[in-house]
Amino acid sequence: MNLLKSQYDLIKYTREQLFSLCEQLDHDDYVKEIEGFGWGSVRNLHAHVAECYQSWLGKFGLKKNITPVNPENVRNVNDMREVFNEIDTLVCSFIDEYEGEYEYKLTGRVPWQEDHEELSVLWLFTHTTTHEFHHKGQIVSMARQLGYIPSDTDLLTPTDMKNLLNRHKCMN
């Protein structure tokens, strides 16, 4: 069993809960700029999460030339799902590339620093996934501020876990 793939499968499940919430939003609310939140709208914040995976795992970790997602090209939640399908492929490629080498250090340039940074595979995976959860909480708060009542986007019950084993798997 690959622990990181198993964990990422659980992350994808909770992401699905967030997509279900986003599908309840009127389109205008999905793209509405909300004061007090970085990145402005639910859509833009969701795109920022995807861009974090692209930057850290794709560019820094896999040394791929990736064009960051442009929120303006994401018209609706279904488009965002497609973006995250690509992110899923990227994450699984990253995990496959460094399987079992979680303390392996990668060196690269970080755009806002002059010096190169040395980061472990585990750090990169942990940073991107915790970053997603941080912003997932913000998206739920934004939905509440817009007048929606979100369902729980975090709780995984034993039944949920059983259903998860049958779909949305990163593991091949």
3-state SS track over the chain = CCHHHHHHHHHHHHHHHHHHHHHHCCHHHHHCCCCCCCCCCHHHHHHHHHHHHHHHHHHHHCCCCCCCCCHHHCCCHHHHHHHHHHHHHHHHHHHHHCCCCCCCEEEEECCCCCCEEEEEHHHHHHHHHHHHHHHHHHHHHHHHHCCCCCCCCCCCCHHHHHHHCCCCCCCC
Q: What is the pTM of this model?
A: 0.89
Residue 135 among known ligand-binding residues = yes
First-to-last alpha carbon distance for the chain, in angstroms, is: 11
Domains observed in the chain: 3-164 (1.20.120.450)
Q: For 12-21, what is the mean pLDDT? A: 91
pLDDT given at position 167: 57
Residue 131 among known ligand-binding residues = yes
Reply yes or no on whether the pLDDT at 25 is more than 80.
yes
Question: pLDDT digit string (tens) for 159-172?
Answer: 776 665 565 555 54
Q: For 57-62, what is the mean pLDDT? A: 96
What are 108's strand-pairing partners? 117
Q: Which residue has the higher pLDDT, 92 or 167?
A: 92
Give the whole-number percent of the chain exceeding pLDDT 90. Answer: 70
> Distance (Å, rounded) from C-alpha 4 to C-alpha 126?
10
Residue 168 among known ligand-binding residues = no
Reply yes or no on whether the pLDDT at 129 is more than 60.
yes
pLDDT given at position 61: 96
Lowest mean pLDDT among 55-64, 74-83, 109-118, 148-157: 148-157
